Chain A
Amino acid sequence: MTFLTIIVRGLLRRPVRTGLTLVGISIGIAAVVALVGISRGFEQSWAKGMQARGTDIVVSTMGSGLAPKPFDASVRDQIAAVPGVAAVCPIFVDLTSIESSSMMIVSSREWGGFSWQNLKLLSGRMPKDAMEPVVVLGQNAAEVLEKKLGDPIQIEARELTVVGIVDGGALVENGSVILSLPLYQEISGNQGKINVVDVRATAGASEEAIKKLCAEINQVVTEAKALPAGENVGNSQAYKFISAMSWGTSLLAVIVGVLGVMNTMLMTVFERKQEICILLAIGWKRSRIIRMVLLESALLGFLGGIAGVLIGSMTVKVLETLPAIHGLLEPDLSPRLMAISVAISVIVGVISGIYPAWRSSRLNPSLAMQG
């Protein structure tokens, strides 16, 4: 028998209570995994999408909405004139309801711009010209909207035709309805407006050079802000809000978990008051009693963390299959997030055990003589 045997036996003493506590803490950790995983996945999906479009810098106004605010299309030429800029592609991106899907990315790009070049045609064809009333669908978008080549698709008041299915190389691209910029400007009533400019730096530009180029663009452009592609979404107010909400909700769930574990450990200590006194009476040091309670509590946290990671991952997988979300999100269920979640859970366990451990160490061993 080792000290760990004593810890495990302590938890198995009341299996139902231990089980319920584990459920409580695991729900908290599942919330962390699911919410944070989704919000971080959202950021990563956009970053990958920009990478797939061959974009080094994104110029936009990532404000309080999920889609950037429109600005004048003349910004395109201002940016193109900045030394070090190899190519620009103005875009009007929107998040809107299309037919059966409540939220779909509509990505309209300058006809002939470089953002078209990385789209790999899986079937059909690309639009013939800038004003042909057609769209190409990312393969996930086609699946979500249940569209095939030749099908009509209603965007705002216009009925367009699906002429191609493409692989964009990233979830965001594959979840998009892609069409020509002037066509969408006309459909949406945003003539002369864009809300994103994809910028490609000259070949071989270092990370440092890209940051410098952003600063130079920001000196020229006042309507929008240039950021390296990977940082664009993370700097958006909307993303920051979603991220803060995710962590806030997770924190609440974790606090509930802390209270649950603390309650269980306090009950355990009260219930085992005489046993603890006996252990003190037969020579256990108070520090060993503290270690015993803290380790029990930490083990509860660890097991709750493992269960929480599993529940959270499964929840996210189920959510991914929902029509409203499918193709839009690529949750970040990285080993790092899971390790952080389990670590949070263990810390929760230890913190929850501090007060019960302190209480148990204050017990008087002479109480062992009573009863």
Chain B
Amino acid sequence: MNPTETIAEASGTGDSIFDVRGLKKEFDDGSVQALRGVDLQIHQGEFVAITGPSGCGKSTLLQMLGALDAPSAGTLNYRGRSLPDLADPAAYRAKEVGIIFQAFHLLPTFTAVENVQMPMFETDRPASERREHAISLLKSVGLEHRIHHFPTKLSGGERQRVAIARSLANGPSVLLADEPTGNLDSENAHIILDLIIRLHREQMMTMVLVTHDPTIAARASRVIRMMDGRIRSDSNTSS
């Protein structure tokens, strides 16, 4: 794929995945206000880039969307269900969303194929099926020759590809990525971005990607700019 290709044409289908109203998040008893009232709707199949300077609240917003933390105020619905009120947020994280971290966050004492299997422990798949599925996911990200390598023996780009394969383990409908190219050189950054775009296109996955890099944001179908815990602009590049 041409690294400069955008996915502007692949816009959302219109079904609301996330519905966020007046979302606030405070830390340290209110002395730090990371989110100061965010209103946002993300639709099925959209590729959303959230940008802004450090400390603007973009990663905090991603944490809320991933049910990694609870908001201080406001409503946050996923397909009509309130995320903070989920009885089993772990099941949501395991099956509905895949999360990609800036620092890859692979477990160092497990091989690539073992790392990819980790989320599958929360499913009914038997061990042999978990392994086969993990291998097929690693093949899909071009790492069939690295399945038995430990993270320390992989390059940064390869580690992030393993992390992407892990995020796809349980077939999520949404992929949440926090600066997925932030720790990579430009060549590997393009490879990873192309991979994310390909997944979005082929599987019609909803992508929410946090980045401070405007060139990466430019390849999304929708760019949300944040500042001081609020959304400053929300532009659909496909329109």
Say if the beta carbon of B59 comes within 8 Å of chain A: yes
Whether B114 pairs with A278 at a CB distance below 8 angstroms is no
In the complex, which residue of chain B has the Cβ closest to the Cβ of A289?
A: B90
Contacts of B106-154 to chain A: CB distance below 8 A = 107, 109-110, 113-114, 117-119, 121-122, 127, 130-131
Q: How many angstroms from the CA of A279 to the CA of B169 in the assembled complex?
A: 13
Whether B68 pairs with A288 at a CB distance below 8 angstroms is no
Q: How many angstroms from the CA of A280 to the CA of B119 in the assembled complex?
A: 9
Say if the beta carbon of A156 comes within 8 Å of chain B: no
Give the 9 A-B residue pairs with the shortest CB-CB distance, closest first: A283-B94, A366-B69, A366-B68, A283-B93, A285-B90, A282-B119, A365-B68, A366-B63, A278-B105
Residues of B within 8 A of A10 (CB): 109
Whether B105 pairs with A283 at a CB distance below 8 angstroms is no
Residues of B within 8 A of A1 (CB): 110, 113-114, 117, 127, 130-131
Say if the beta carbon of B45 comes within 8 Å of chain A: no
Q: How many angstroms from the CA of A264 to the CA of B62 in the assembled complex?
A: 34
In the complex, which residue of chain B has the Cβ closest to the Cβ of A3?
A: B121
Counting chain B CB atoms within 10 Å of each CB, which of A275, A366, A371 scores highest?
Answer: A366
Range of interface residues on B (Cβ < 8 Å): 20 to 34
Label chain B's interface by main secondary structure. helix
Say if the beta carbon of B161 comes within 8 Å of chain A: no
| B-contact bits for A1-17, CB 8 A (1 contact / 0 none) | 11101100110110000
Contact for A284 among B90, B113, B114, B166, CB less than 8 A: B90
Q: How many angstroms from the CA of A369 to the CA of B59 in the assembled complex?
A: 8
Say if the beta carbon of B170 comes within 8 Å of chain A: yes
Whether B121 pairs with A284 at a CB distance below 8 angstroms is yes
In the complex, which residue of chain B has the Cβ closest to the Cβ of A1?
A: B114
Say if the beta carbon of A238 comes within 8 Å of chain B: no
Residues of B within 8 A of A288 (CB): 121-122
Counting chain B CB atoms within 10 Å of each CB, which of A1, A9, A282 scores highest?
Answer: A282
| B-contact bits for A328-371, CB 8 A (1 contact / 0 none) | 00000000000000000000000000000000000011101101
Distance of A191 from chain B, by nearest CB (Å): 77
Residues of A within 8 A of B130 (CB): 1
Whether B94 pairs with A284 at a CB distance below 8 angstroms is yes
Q: How many angstroms from the CA of A369 to the CA of B61 in the assembled complex?
A: 12
